[in-house]
């Protein structure tokens, strides 16, 4: 039973009427690919939120094997990699690595793309906390953010990156940026008066505060009617549809949450198609037929502007995302069959990646004033009617991988492909797409806003999960740097400061055909200047709190613009260069050696007696401000500082306290 099954459609305003139970397939003219696309290509679905049947393009869509990158991605990379050269040179020059001519080096390796550093950024899940903290990182990495290229900044890292992946709350961030013309975090944060984008002070339950335009009842009626239009068009709907549509009002700056915005239309965006942005990827996990618990062996799916599918040996295939919901069988659509467009609504995809929140929606909507009775009744019925294992699913019907890779694909015989929140397998950082050997990523900046501990701080569980997974059959050739257990993360402070994993390429035993996995720059959420450990299910945030958490993420990314470690931008530059230097046999500059000594995990683990219990008996991990949050009542900033280990930093810090207090 699904929420939409219970909705009395006749009660919905603006709802296209359909005879009860009779799906209406709407025909819509195929988009003419020769027509010049407008500057803003996102609202591209043929019929609002409803997918539509269209004639198949001449080149019929097919499922392809995951044994290579798609031609689309390869062609795009051929444009993107050269465009990262100039921003990378600027980033490295600003960092000014002593005794190393970065400009000459990059210019030299730029001729052979395989030697050029290949950068990825991964933003974890964790609801709004992850969105805001991740946004702080992106703002710091974006050269368009005022001040980001000043001393101590890392601005330009985003412009030098090839990939940007997001999962669950991190997927909201990535989606919001790309659905809004690759705009800046600052612009999304500041918005405009008549826009509801990033206005997190209005909860998703009551809807945006757009006086005179919308109240809670009309907001939910609009959401419900958008979802009903998908059902009317003959497609399955689930709670994920409602969740995604409701969230859209906060993430997509367009009327009614932009019901026509699709993921595939990012490919038509001028900035993306000209490779002026990184390649965005969202992640979800498969719930195989009959499976209840999502284990580390669950198949990991990705969504990118060209495709959705999996590199795992189970599904090992990709579908053209623009034509999802066409009747693929054994990889092809029937000879005389039509195709479907518009199923890949960006809201359905970020809703899928964050389907953990389906229960949050169901459980909370019943207690909000102004929600129409029919919705409350429907939600109550769903809560009473279905098991908790089922309400977190996003259904992909028809299953694009029906009859595909029969010997290994768990859903090969199923009409539905069921996907859930990308963090359900504990891999809460979307590293999977970026450790694929075919993508040859050299360094991943992994922003972790997981709520692992009692007080919603990360403890490395997400990293450890990806490391553990690299040892199973499911790994299919992916490698992952060694990562210690959660106790070591806490006992050695690896979850409280940036930590590099996999620094030493010589430490990997590689076959002739494999290359070292990326170096991972792990950036755990910690209190730099704000209590950024808000709980995952907090539904609204004052704009001041939102800004403080974004700023905290910014300060984590820059180590307080270098106040915690003046050498931090150098160390970021060294991480970027590391694999490339190894490939070209270039000596590692001394300044980089010093960075690696300071930031690389040295391979030791906490002994059994270390007091890191999370709750019972031991002391709970309770970090204190690493800088200061700038509050006036906080006069003893120096005393409150928890330095992340090195006494050298402490000395540096003491001299800077006066400056910091003023920030």
The residues, ordered by sequence, that sit 6+ positions from 646 with a Cβ below 8 Å of its Cβ are: 598
> Which residue number, 367 or 609, has a Cβ lying nearer to ligand NAG?
367
> Which residue number, 225 or 342, has a Cβ lying nearer to ligand NAG?
342
Using CB under 6 A, pick the residue from 316, 343, 404, 522 that binds ligand NAG.
316
Under rule CB under 6 A, residue 476 binds ligand NAG: yes
Under rule CB under 6 A, residue 636 binds ligand NAG: no
CA distance 317 to 394: 19
Using CB under 6 A, pick the residue from 143, 315, 353, 629 that binds ligand NAG.
629
Interface positions, 34-63, toward ligand NAG (CB under 6 A): 39-40, 53
Using CB under 6 A, pick the residue from 482, 587, 593, 658 that binds ligand NAG.
482
Interface positions, 403-422, toward ligand NAG (CB under 6 A): 408
Where is 418: in which H helix or E strand?
strand 417-421
Under rule CB under 6 A, residue 614 binds ligand NAG: yes
**Phi, psi of 452, rounded to the nearest 5 degrees:** -95, -40
The CB-nearest residue to ligand NAG is: 477
On the 0-12 / 13-18 / 19+ scale of CB atoms within 10 A, 35 is: exposed
Task: Tell me the per-residue interface mask from 358 to 377 with ligand NAG, x by CB under 6 A, - otherwise.
Answer: -xx--xx--x----------
Under rule CB under 6 A, residue 297 binds ligand NAG: yes
Using CB under 6 A, pick the residue from 175, 453, 466, 567 that binds ligand NAG.
453
Task: Tell me the per-residue interface mask from 161 to 200 with ligand NAG, x by CB under 6 A, - otherwise.
Answer: --------------------x-------------------
Closest separation in Å from C-beta 520 to ligand NAG: 11
| Cα distance from N-terminal residue to C-terminal residue, the chain | 53
One-letter-per-residue 3-state SS of 56-81: CCCCCCECEECCCCCHHHHHHHHHHH
Under rule CB under 6 A, residue 129 binds ligand NAG: no
Closest separation in Å from C-beta 50 to ligand NAG: 13
Structure tokens at 268: 């038509």
> Which residue number, 225 or 525, has a Cβ lying nearer to ligand NAG?
525
- The SS3 of residue 519 is strand
Give the count of residues interacting with ligand NAG (CB under 6 A).
67
Under rule CB under 6 A, residue 456 binds ligand NAG: yes
Closest separation in Å from C-beta 439 to ligand NAG: 14
> Which residue number, 131 or 340, has a Cβ lying nearer to ligand NAG?
340
Under rule CB under 6 A, residue 602 binds ligand NAG: yes
Alpha helices, H only, 60-151: 71-95, 102-110, 127-141
CA distance 265 to 304: 10
> Which residue number, 125 or 166, has a Cβ lying nearer to ligand NAG?
125
> Which residue number, 5 or 504, has a Cβ lying nearer to ligand NAG?
504
Under rule CB under 6 A, residue 321 binds ligand NAG: no
Q: Which of 261, 345, 281 has the alpha carbon at shortest distance from 73? A: 281
DSSP secondary structure string, 344-361? -BHHHHHHHHTGGGHHHH
Closest separation in Å from C-beta 213 to ligand NAG: 22
Q: What angle do CA 136, 653, 460 make, to 5 degrees?
A: 50
Under rule CB under 6 A, residue 467 binds ligand NAG: no
CB 477 within 8 A of CB 514: yes
Interface positions, 516-545, toward ligand NAG (CB under 6 A): 530-531, 533-535, 537
CA distance 20 to 579: 60
Using CB under 6 A, pick the residue from 30, 329, 455, 638 that binds ligand NAG.
455
Please report, for residues 424, 495, 616, the alpha-carbon distance to residue 487 in angstroms, rounded to integers and kept in the order given: 21, 10, 14
> Which residue number, 2 or 492, has a Cβ lying nearer to ligand NAG?
492
- Rg over CA atoms, the chain: 24
CA distance 398 to 209: 37
Where is 188: in which H helix or E strand?
helix 185-190
CA distance 333 to 327: 5
Q: Of 2-10, 91-99, 283-291, 559-567, which part binds ligand NAG (CB under 6 A)? A: 559-567
> Which residue number, 106 or 441, has a Cβ lying nearer to ligand NAG?
441
CA distance 319 to 283: 15
Structure tokens at 508: 């990997």
Using CB under 6 A, pick the residue from 33, 34, 194, 473 that binds ligand NAG.
473
Under rule CB under 6 A, residue 232 binds ligand NAG: no
The residues, ordered by sequence, that sit 6+ positions from 416 with a Cβ below 8 Å of its Cβ are: 236, 395, 396, 397, 398, 399
Length in residues, the chain: 663
Estimate to the nearest angstrom the gap between the alpha carbon of 290 and the chain centroid: 27
DSSP secondary structure string, 223-281? HHHHHHHHHHTT----HHHHHHHHHHHHH--SGGG-TTBBSGGGGGSHHHHTT-S-EEE
Using CB under 6 A, pick the residue from 209, 622, 648, 654 that binds ligand NAG.
622
> Which residue number, 77 or 550, has a Cβ lying nearer to ligand NAG?
550
Under rule CB under 6 A, residue 235 binds ligand NAG: no
Structure tokens at 655: 């001299």
CA distance 237 to 2: 7
CB 3 within 8 A of CB 242: yes
Using CB under 6 A, pick the residue from 43, 57, 313, 385 that binds ligand NAG.
313
- The SS3 of residue 547 is helix
Closest separation in Å from C-beta 612 to ligand NAG: 5
Under rule CB under 6 A, residue 204 binds ligand NAG: no
> Which residue number, 8 or 482, has a Cβ lying nearer to ligand NAG?
482
Under rule CB under 6 A, residue 285 binds ligand NAG: no
> Which residue number, 166 or 560, has a Cβ lying nearer to ligand NAG?
560
Under rule CB under 6 A, residue 486 binds ligand NAG: yes
Under rule CB under 6 A, residue 572 binds ligand NAG: no
> Which residue number, 110 or 505, has a Cβ lying nearer to ligand NAG?
505
Under rule CB under 6 A, residue 507 binds ligand NAG: yes
> Which residue number, 26 or 108, has a Cβ lying nearer to ligand NAG?
26
- Bond prior to 463 in cis (omega within 30° of 0): no
CA distance 434 to 279: 11
Question: What is the DSSP pairing of strand 417-421 with strand 279-286?
Answer: antiparallel
Structure tokens at 613: 């219990």
Which stretches of the chain bind ligand NAG, using CB under 6 A? 25, 39-40, 53, 147, 181, 295-297, 313, 316, 326-327, 337-338, 340, 359-360, 363-364, 367, 408, 452-453, 455-456, 459, 461, 472-474, 476-477, 482, 486-487, 490, 492, 504, 507, 530-531, 533-535, 537, 548, 551, 554-555, 558, 560-561, 563, 602-604, 612, 614, 622-623, 627, 629-631, 660, 663
């Amino acid at each position: 039973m699904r929420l939409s099954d219970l909705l009395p459609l006749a009660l919905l305003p603006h709802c296209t009427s359909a005879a009860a139970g009779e799906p209406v397939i709407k025909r819509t003219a195929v988009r003419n690919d020769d027509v010049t696309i407008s500057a803003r290509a996102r609202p591209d679905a043929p019929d609002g939120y409803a997918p539509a049947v269209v004639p198949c393009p001449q080149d019929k869509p097919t499922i392809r094997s995951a044994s290579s990158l798609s031609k689309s991605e390869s062609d795009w990379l051929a444009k993107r990699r050269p465009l990262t050269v100039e921003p990378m040179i600027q980033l490295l020059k600003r960092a000014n690595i002593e005794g190393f001519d970065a400009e000459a080096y990059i210019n030299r390796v730029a001729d052979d793309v395989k030697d050029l550093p290949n950068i990825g950024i991964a933003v974890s899940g964790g609801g709004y906390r992850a969105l805001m903290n991740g946004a702080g990182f992106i703002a710091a990495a974006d050269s368009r953010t005022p001040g980001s290229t000043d001393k101590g900044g890392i601005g330009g890292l985003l412009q030098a990156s090839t990939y940007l992946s997001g999962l669950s709350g991190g997927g909201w961030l990535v989606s919001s940026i790309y659905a809004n013309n690759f705009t800046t975090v600052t612009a999304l944060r500041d918005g405009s008066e008549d826009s509801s984008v990033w206005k997190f002070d209005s909860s998703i339950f009551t809807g945006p505060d757009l006086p005179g335009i919308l109240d809670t009842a009309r907001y939910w009626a609009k959401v419900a009617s958008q979802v009903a239009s998908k059902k009317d068009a003959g497609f399955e709907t689930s709670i994920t549809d409602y969740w995604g549509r409701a969230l859209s009002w906060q993430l997509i700056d367009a009327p009614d949450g932009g019901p026509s915005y699709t993921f595939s239309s990012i490919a038509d965006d001028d900035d993306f198609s000209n490779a002026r942005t990184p390649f965005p990827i969202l992640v979800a996990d498969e719930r195989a037929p009959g499976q209840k618990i999502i284990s580390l062996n669950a198949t990991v799916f990705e969504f990118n502007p060209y495709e959705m599918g999996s590199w795992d040996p189970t599904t090992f295939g990709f579908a053209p995302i623009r034509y999802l919901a066409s009747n693929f069988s054994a990889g092809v659509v029937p000879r005389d069959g039509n195709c479907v467009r518009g199923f890949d609504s960006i809201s359905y995809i970020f809703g899928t990646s964050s389907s953990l929140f389906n229960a949050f929606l169901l459980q909370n909507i019943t207690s909000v004033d102004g929600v129409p009775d029919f919705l409350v009744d429907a939600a109550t019925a769903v809560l009473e009617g279905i098991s908790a294992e089922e309400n977190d699913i996003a259904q992909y019907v028809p299953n694009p991988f029906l009859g595909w890779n029969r010997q290994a694909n768990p859903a090969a015989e199923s009409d539905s492909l069921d996907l859930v929140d990308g963090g359900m397998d504990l891999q809460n950082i979307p590293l999977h797409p970026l450790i694929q050997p075919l993508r040859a990523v050299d360094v991943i900046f992994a922003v972790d806003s997981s709520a692992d501990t009692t007080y919603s701080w990360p403890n490395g569980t997400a990293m450890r999960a990806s490391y553990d997974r690299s040892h199973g059959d499911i790994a299919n050739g992916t490698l992952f740097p060694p990562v210690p257990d959660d106790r070591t993360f806490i006992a050695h402070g690896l979850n409280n400061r940036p930590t590099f994993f996999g620094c030493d390429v010589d430490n990997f035993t590689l076959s002739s055909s494999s290359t070292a996995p990326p170096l991972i720059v792990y950036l755990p959420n910690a209190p730099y200047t704000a209590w950024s450990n808000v709980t995952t299910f907090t539904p609204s945030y004052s704009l001041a709190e939102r800004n403080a958490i974004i700023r905290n993420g910014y300060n984590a990314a820059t180590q307080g613009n270098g106040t915690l470690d003046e050498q931090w931008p150098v160390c970021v530059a060294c991480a970027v260069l590391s694999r490339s230097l190894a490939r070209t046999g270039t000596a590692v500059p001394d300044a980089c050696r010093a960075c690696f000594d300071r930031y690389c995990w040295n391979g030791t683990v906490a002994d059994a007696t270390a007091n890191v219990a999370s709750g019972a008996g031991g002391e709970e991990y309770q970090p204190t401000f690493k800088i200061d949050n700038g509050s006036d009542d906080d006069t003893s900033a120096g005393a409150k500082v928890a330095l992340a280990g090195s006494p050298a930093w402490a000395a540096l810090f003491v001299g800077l306290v006066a400056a910091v207090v003023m920030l």
